Every structure is written in C-alpha cells, then in structure tokens.
Amino acid sequence: MKKAELRHIRKIFETRGDAGEEVRSVAALDDVTLTFNPGEIHAILGENGAGKSTLVHILSGLHRPTSGVIAIGDSVFNAVTPSQAIGNGIAMVHQRPLLCDELTVTENILLGSPGFLARKPKAAEKIRAAADAWGIELDLSRKTHTLSAAERFYAALLGALLRSPDLLILDEPASILAAGEHERFFTALRAHCSNGLGAVLITHRVAEAVRWSDRVSVLREGKLLYSGAAKTLDELERMIDPEGLASRTARLALASDQKEGQACKIGTDGTAGLSVRDLSASPPNRTPLSGLTFCAPPGKITAIYGLPGSGLSTLEDALSGMLRCTSGSLATSAAVLEASEVAPSALRKAGLACVPSNRTWRGSNPELAIGHMLCAYRMPRFISSKNEAEVFAKKILEDERINAPLSRKTSTLSGGQLQRLVLDRELAEKPSVLVLSEPEWGLDIKSAAALRLKLAQAAQEGTAVLVLTDNPDSFRDPSFFSNVLVMEEGVLI
C-alpha cells in the first residue's frame, strides 16, 4: 500500500470581478503539507470554505495546485490528472455522485473503462464480492434513477473499490446514511483500514471524526491549524469555531423566546402557518405518502424526522410543488391549495419558501452566476432595478463574509456557502412559511449555529418554520424545536 503526501500546496483561484472591479485572487490553500498513510482513517475538518474540498480535489486530480508537489509512493508530481490519481491508487467518492440514470448500477461502475460491455459478466462477480466484503446490499441490475441517495452512494463506492485503491477519499459519507447504516459502514471501513487501506474522511461531524479517525487535520481559511491524533470533541469544536459558545448561547436564548408563538389549527380555511390535510401521493419507485395531516404553526419551529426510505423526500417534493399528489390540500394564510393543483409558482404566491435538500440543482444551478442566483425573484428590467438587485446581492455576500464577485459561477462555492446563500435569498422574501429539507447537511459547527439563529429569528417574526431531516444530530438540542413529528413508511407515527 502506498502513502500519499501533499507538500507545501498552495492553490490560488482568480476570478474576474464585477463591472469596474479588478481580477480577485483568493488563496483556497496556503502552504499546506499533509501525509496520508496506509492503514489509517485521516479526518479533515474545518468550517465551510476552509479549503477541505480543494485539498482532496488536488489529491484526486480535479484541481491543479498553484505550487507545491504531490507525492504518491515513490512518484512525485507537480499535479495529477484524475486518471493518474486512479492509476496511482487514489479513488474518491463524492458527496453527490454523478451517475447516468438510465444505466444499471453495474454499467455505471464500469462506465469509462475499456471494453466495459465485454467485461460486464466477470466484473459483476467482482463487484458483488466487494459488496459482500463491505456489507452492501444493492441490486446491481437496477437502473440508478430508482436508487435512494444512500444507494447511489454505495454504487459510487463500489465503483471506487473496483479500482483496488490504496487511498479512498470519502466526502461527507455519513450525511445520507441512516443511523444503522452509518454504524455498519464505519465498522466496515475500520476493518478494511486495519488491513492496510488508507482513508481520507471529509466531514463536518466532529463527533464522527473523534470516534472513527486515527488522525485529524483542521483547516481554517486555507491554512493548516492542526494535524495529529484526534483531540477531544470540545477541543476540536473550539479550534474550528472559537466563537461557537457565544453563538450557541444566543441561539438557545432566541429558541426559548420563540416558543410563545401563535396557535395553528389544522384545516383548509386559510389559517396562519402551514396546514396539511389528508395528503397522499404514489410516485413510482419511491415511498408513497398516505393521508398525512399535520400543522406547522406560525412563530414556531416544527421538525419532521424520518430515516432514508421513510417518505421524507417524497414529502419534500410534495411541499415544494415538484410532485403532484393524488389527494389532500395545503393551506397558508394567503391561499388554500388542492394538492393536485400545487405547483412551485402557486406555493410561492401563497407565501411558502423552500430551501431544498438538493441546493446544487434545485436551489440553484452550477452554471448560474452568484448574482443571478441570489436575485432569482428580483430579475431587473430597468437600469435602476438592476442596480438595486446588485446592491441586494452584494449585501448578502457581505453579511455571509463570502469574498466573491457576483459574476462568479455558483459551482465555485462550497456546499455550505451555497446553502447559506439560498437560505438568505428565501428569507429576504419574508415568507409566511419556510420549509427546509436537511438544512444542516454539509454545514460546519459555526454555520449550523448561525442557521439555527436565523431560523429562530424568522420564527420570532411570525414565520412558520418546518424542518425535514433524517439527521438525529439535529435533536442534540431538544429545546430548539417546538414540536417533532416522526415519519415512517409514508405516515406520521
């Protein structure tokens, strides 16, 4: 098994500024030196935008460093391509794997390899052996468009394992796994690392890094703060977010204050908040919804918790207008909508805003300029309104301390940065109902605390906040939510 090293890596991103501004240079990584050894799990921690993804993208060949070298075994490179990385034993599983939906799991795994159709029968045996060794239960003949998020992750993982890597890079693997799957996966990962596999774990879950990793490295603003044996949970949290205690204290105080919100009655008579009655849907290849009735009162934060496969993603699509339901109704203070007539535009007119789980493709688009994404509901028609839109967008970037021109593509933002901007855009419209699906996914400690502070403030102003989540860590602070409902197999229990 080979070890890999990043030596004095610097990565400078240059982006052309908005009209009248010069080209900006941003140091995503600044003189970072790290070693990744066989037989160990090496966790990379840091707040959103700290440089974690840039670091592993350089190691896996997706980015070229501005300076520094990459050493893999006895070979030294100024930069590697993805094929060189794979050829030298480095494989990566991304947060949201890009798979061809019309191909089977086996075909996706073999896609890009020479003569993959001829190799398909024998390769299926090898893939099945890898699945058994990792405890993965997955029908290799299924089309990938029928897979859940966790199953897509496993398909991508099997594709990486088929390359027999020395070093496996995992970007936020636990974010889409249920509690039982999470434990099984990390137990299998630990067993394979004991046999010589090296693993790089990008995670925002500090407790996960403390429990499972052999070594931890912490990045902040592109610089390496610490690399060594895993410290205690409190030490690492303070390292990542020195001001975390203060922001969490403020968040809890606001969460406590907002408990005195108004009542909300279930019904379709236009009462305030969000009222859902007898909502049913039967989408193909997904968990159906069966007669859901619940309420998210104004001035309060309501959570619906469900494991993957519980129907939570189906409910997200129904509440965002992306799925036509067979029966039921939704009511806000502005409108009563029959479920069969619900569409995104109708929901927005009814005062409902949505922060979707897929912020990359549903909350935004990678090819959109940041300014266009932020001003999606404020498209300028005249010069004066264009100037107002730019001021609006720049104010959001300034508030979030994101140093980026409006003309830069959203694909250059980290997942956490994009999540924060999408939330700010939705809150700026002053919705009466705010629905968020997996809002803490991919956020570091500091950003998650800031998110909760914003939600508490929105609730204080009378907004009905509804959080859909499959992350049990969301409930570490039980006082934050006014009410928690549990979904299982398409029904509330």
Q: What is the pLDDT of residue 114?
A: 58
pLDDT at 247 over 70: no
- Report which listed range, 20-34, 324-338, 368-382, is most confident: 324-338
What average pLDDT is seen over the chain? 85
Beta-strand pair 336-338/327-331:
antiparallel
Claim to verify: residue 192 and residue 146 sit in the same structural domain: yes
Q: How far is 145 from 158, CA to CA, in rounded Å? A: 17
Claim to verify: residue 384 and residue 411 sit in the same structural domain: yes
Q: How does DSSP classify residue 143?
A: B
Among the listed residues 55, 57, 85, 61, the one whose alpha carbon sits nearest the alpha carbon of residue 73: 85
Claim to verify: residue 91 and residue 169 sit in the same structural domain: yes
Q: Given 240, 259, 279, which residue is the final one in a domain?
A: 240
* Residue 315 backbone phi and psi in degrees, to 5: -65, -40
Q: How many domains does the chain have?
A: 2
Claim to verify: residue 407 and residue 286 sit in the same structural domain: yes
- What does the angle CA 483 – CA 254 – CA 450 come to, to the nearest 5 degrees? 95
Claim to verify: residue 49 and residue 168 sit in the same structural domain: yes
Claim to verify: residue 308 and residue 179 sit in the same structural domain: no
Among the listed residues 8, 18, 2, 4, the one whose alpha carbon sits nearest the alpha carbon of residue 403: 18
Q: What is the pLDDT of residues 142-199, one digit of tens each?
A: 998 888 778 889 999 999 998 899 999 998 887 677 667 888 999 999 999 999 999 9
Q: How far is 57 from 82, CA to CA, in rounded Å? A: 9
Q: Given 218, 240, 262, which residue is the final one in a domain?
A: 240
Residue 264 belongs to domain with CATH number: 3.40.50.300
Q: Given 183, 211, 240, which residue is the final one in a domain?
A: 240
| CA 104 to chain CA centroid, nearest Å | 25
Average pLDDT over residues 376-380: 80
Q: What is the pLDDT of residue 341?
A: 80
Claim to verify: residue 211 and residue 274 sit in the same structural domain: no
Q: What is the pLDDT of residue 272?
A: 66
Q: Which domain holds residue 327?
A: 247-492
Top pLDDT among 233 and 269 is at: 233
* Residue 74 backbone phi and psi in degrees, to 5: -95, 0
* Residue 289 backbone phi and psi in degrees, to 5: -105, 140
Beta-strand pair 215-220/198-202:
unpaired
Q: What is the pLDDT of residue 119?
A: 62
Claim to verify: residue 410 and residue 343 sit in the same structural domain: yes
